[in-house]
Amino acid sequence: MSSDAHDPTIAAIATSPGAGGIGVIRISGADSRDILTKLFRPKNTNALQTSHKMYYGWIFDPATHTPVDEVLAVYMQAPHTYTREDVVEIHCHGSYLAVQSILALILSSGATLAQPGEFTKRAFLNGRIDLTQAEAVLELLQSKTKKSLGMAVSQLKGDLYGRVSDIRDSLISVRAIIEVAIDFPEDEVDILDTADLSGRIRDNVQTPLAELISSSDKGKIFRDGISVVILGRPNVGKSSLLNALLKEERAIVTAIPGTTRDIIEEYLDIKGMPVRIIDTAGIRESDETVEEMGIKKARQKMADADLVLLLFDATQPLKDEDFTLYQSVQEKNHILVINKSDLAPDFDTEKFTNTFPGQTSVLLSARTHAGLDSLEDAIFNTVTGDTHMLEAEHSCVPNVRHRDSLSRTLTSTGIVLEGLTKALSPDLIAIDLQAALDHLGDIIGQTTTEDVLDKIFEEFCLGK
């Protein structure tokens, strides 16, 4: 699988939209250097003779011969580039107008605007990276915590590819023996050592497959994150808790009940786990239209959340609204949070836990931050169910697409083992072995269909 040598030269802005210190325009394809030569006037007349060397000069409009911007430009000769095609990068000032003007000149000089992810897709099609590494580029760009970034970098280095390749090699060695038995049916009994082949499949294929599937289930939390809703009746300190977790004054806090009318959402990092924390309107009976709309949104967010923090006020006795809210979260993962401990030093924790037996609860003060660490521990452990997950290595964390193919491989190898046990014809066993190999090939891009590739790369941003 490779890109066509006659594919158009593509170009796109590689930096984020808006004003910035530097803007980068990337060009890839056979006409890259010709386009640069047409638009770029280096300070030295003998410039652009060396690949991978940055040159200083100006971009000029060839139609009017007027300067557009002062830039640095680099030409990188294939195959030692990101796409394994000729590549040009122009580093200009980060003005929106300057970047767009240079891109327009490049497109008018023969380049085609790149599709989302097209540079990385060409890198994959030209064999510079496998499909897991291509996906890692996107995951690296979307990383929200250091841990998810580490997982993406590990995959970009080829760790997942290496694990999958080892499993494929083990299956190929088994298939080679099966093929020999097919070619020499009269010696089939001597060639096929059922116990040995079954042991190889279990130890070298199924065991590592199960490990990768397990790591996928755990890694999804760190890759995709979770949503956490702060719920409670008015004035129990929901906005104060949000501010405390974020370590900034994000939400307005007053002593007036019902201050929060709309949903406030922010991201934070809890032990490497991306958490979308959501502050909601206090839930109570209200005739006020705007507040009632906020309460309705709060209930919807609770229904969609991965975890609910149900907040109580340590300075006040439990009210009917508290028990009603408690009943409403029983079908969700939840933690009971008793706020304002600094104002209630004699709070009866034992009485509270007896009122809500068997529930995870945390006593804290959003104002002083006392107990916040305990809450973060409780959030992490409640969601992951594994206090040692933080110690796991970054490497080999398959995504949802990989997990599906790994599960299909596991199923196919199970059928192979069943065929060996029943002494089925080697031809039939070979069919299931090939199915397993194809599923693994889907992961690294050897047998992936075009529509799947299009789906993967369309999630990329322009210029990558």
Task: Return the CATH architecture of domain 10-129.
Answer: 2-Layer Sandwich (3.30)
Q: Could you tell me the two tokens for 6?
A: 């006659």
- What is the phi/psi pair of residue 111, to 5°? -85, 160
| pTM for this model (two decimals) | 0.78
Residue type, 97: L
Q: Choose between 220 and 405: higher pLDDT.
A: 405
Task: Return the CATH architecture of domain 137-221+399-444.
Answer: Up-down Bundle (1.20)
Q: What integer pLDDT is reported at residue 366 of this predicted model?
A: 92
Q: How close are the terminal C-alpha atoms of the chain, in Å?
A: 20
Strands (E), 29-137: 40-42, 53-61, 66-76, 87-94, 112-113
In the chain, list all ranges with CATH 3.30.1360.120: 10-129
Q: How confident is the model at residue 146 (pLDDT cuts 50, 70, 90)?
A: confident
In the chain, list all ranges with CATH 1.20.120.430: 137-221+399-444
Tell me the mean pLDDT in the region 82-104: 95
CB 457 within 8 A of CB 116: yes
Q: Choose between 300 and 92: higher pLDDT.
A: 92
Please provide the average confidence, as pLDDT, over all residues in the chain: 86
Residue 260 has pLDDT above 80, yes or no: no
In the chain, list all ranges with CATH 3.40.50.300: 225-388
- Edge to edge, what strands does the sheet with 273-279 contain? 264-270, 273-279, 226-231, 307-313, 334-339, 361-363
The CATH number of the structural domain formed by 225-388 is: 3.40.50.300
Residue type, 124: F
